[in-house]
Each structure stands twice: as C-alpha cells, then as structure tokens.
Amino acid sequence: MGVQQDRVFLLCLFGLWPSALLFRSATLRESFQGAMVLWSFLAVLRLRESKRFRHFVPLLLSAIFLTLLHYALLVYGTFMLVLGGYWAFSRRRGRAVRLKRWAVVAAIATLLLVSLPLARRYGGHNTLLLGGGVVERLSRFREATSVIGGRASYGNAVQPTTAAGVALNLPVLMFYYLFAPLPWQIATRGDMVAGVESLLRALLLLAAVRSALGKKGEHRERQRFGLLAFFVLETVWAVGSLNWGTAIRHRLPALGLLIVLGGPGLVRGLRAALSLLLPVRTAAATRSRKAGAPVLHKPR
C-alpha cells in the first residue's frame, strides 16, 4: 500500500490527530473499534495474498469483536466477511476456491449465531436490528436527537421516515458527516480545529480516490476495496449522526483506514508542492546526492 516508506509521518498524523488526542487519551471503545477495523482490512489483504484459509480466522474474530463493540458495526463486519472473503479468492477458480467460498458462508452464519445473542445481552440500547422496524427506530432516534439541537447541528431538516427517504437523503447526510463543520459554520476555536480536521480528511480522501483511479494492478485493486470498506463503515455512522460533535467521534474508527489509503498519496502531493517552492538548483542537487553522483559547483 506504500505505507512503509512514509510510516513515520503517517504514524505522527495518526497519533496527533486532534480528536484522536481527545477521545483516545482515555480508554474509550473508539480505540478498540479502530484497531478492529484495521485488523479486518489487514486480514482480508493477507487472505488475498496467501489464499490460505487459516488467515480467514482473524477476519472472523475481528468481525465478531466489532459487533460486540457496537451493534451497528455488524453491517461492516458482515461486509468484510462476505465481499472481503469473495474478493480475496476472486483471482482463482476451481474446486478448492468453491469450498473456501462455502466456508465464507458458514463463517457468516457463525458470526450471526454468535453475535446476535451476545449483542442482545451486552449491547444495551444498540439492538436496533433485533426487534425489527429499522427505519422506524432510526427515525425516532433522529427526531429525539434533533429536539436536543445544539450549535453543532448540521442545520438541515432531513428527517427520513421511510427506506426511500433514507436512500434519497443519504448523499446529503454523507457530505455533512464527512466534512462538517463547513467554513460558514465555524464560530469558535474548537470549530476551527474541527474545520482543519475536515480539510485534512478531504485531502486524504482525495488522495485515496486518486490512487484508486491509477494504473491497473494489485495496488489499485487494494485501494478500491479499501475505499469501498471505508464508505460502508462511514455510511453506517452517517445515518445516525445529526451534528458534527457526534460525527467527529464516530469518524475515529475509520481514521486509521483512511490514513492507510490516502496517506502515501498525500505525502507525495506535499513533496511535489514543496519541490515547486524550492529552488531548482537545490532540487537538482538533492537528486544528484540520491543517485550518488558528485554535485558540481561553478567556480567563482
């Protein structure tokens, strides 16, 4: 994925992210959710690389742990098991591959059988899908949240009460969830910090999309699957978020995945921008040193 070359910068970006410093300084579940999201993505990559079924076990465990950490993450965990497992074996054909795909189905059934009773017992209020009426329960939650209001509210009056309403308003919800607060919503110093986060998030997402649209190859396939996983996870959170205060906290589990996908491209973009600002002679000297050639200076 190109992470090794710039790992120091990416680790600093991950560790010094302002909201991460706020919410991860204490032992909150967002830290564990982020770890499980990265673990599941790494498990899919390892499974695709090795094609060995033993690498499917970490994927199954990460999906179960995600469901226990927050019941809404059952959607993401199931996605990683279904499409992640299928994508990992998609380049091979034959009887062995068919058997492994059936094993994926069996693992999904195991996940549901194990996680649903445990979520009912330990999930508390996060039992949205157990009792049916998903859209109705979601609508009641959003109405209750909107009554509370607050300065950090998105400011939109989107209150979908049907499945069609949720689908039609999803692009607006995703835009506010990913990038709020917008420039005209910034009023305090805290809003400025959140605005800088949104800008960095937009740059990382742009770099990730650009890498996914690059030359054909395994790197592009990984980028595309990672972006799909990212948007599935963020869609789950976006539907239930009505203000950027809640969104900032919900965006943390996917932060590590976004930095893995867009961080290397962002670093390359920063280097290209700096090379335009630096003198040409300095850039040429740097290239010469890297190539091992002596740097010649004109005599005075």
Q: What percent of the chain has pLDDT over 70?
A: 67
pLDDT digits (tens, 9 = 90+) for 22-45: 887 777 788 899 999 999 999 999
pLDDT(232) > 90: yes
3-state secondary structure of 217: coil
Residue 199 CA to chain centroid, in angstroms?
Answer: 16
How do the domains of the chain map onto residue ranges?
A: 4-129+163-290
The pLDDT of residue 142 is 54
**Run of H or E residues at 135:** helix 134-148
Helix axis angle for 255-277 and 29-50, nearest 10°, is: 80
Identity at 44, one-letter amino acid code: V
DSSP code of residue 81: I
Nearest-Å Rg of the Cα atoms of the chain is 22
Question: Stretch 81-93: mean pLDDT, rounded?
Answer: 76
The pLDDT of residue 226 is 94
Confidence of residue 61 (pLDDT cuts 50, 70, 90): confident
Residues 6+ apart with CB under 8 A from 10: 3, 259, 260, 263, 264, 267
Q: How far apart are CA 169 and CA 239, in angstroms?
A: 9
Q: Which residues pair with 243 in a beta bridge?
A: 153
The pLDDT of residue 50 is 81
Q: How far apart are CA 121 and CA 143, in angstroms?
A: 26
DSSP code of residue 2: -
Residue among 173, 205, 199 at smallest CA distance from 186: 199
Alpha helices in 51-94 (DSSP H): 56-69, 74-79, 85-88
Higher pLDDT, 56 or 34: 34
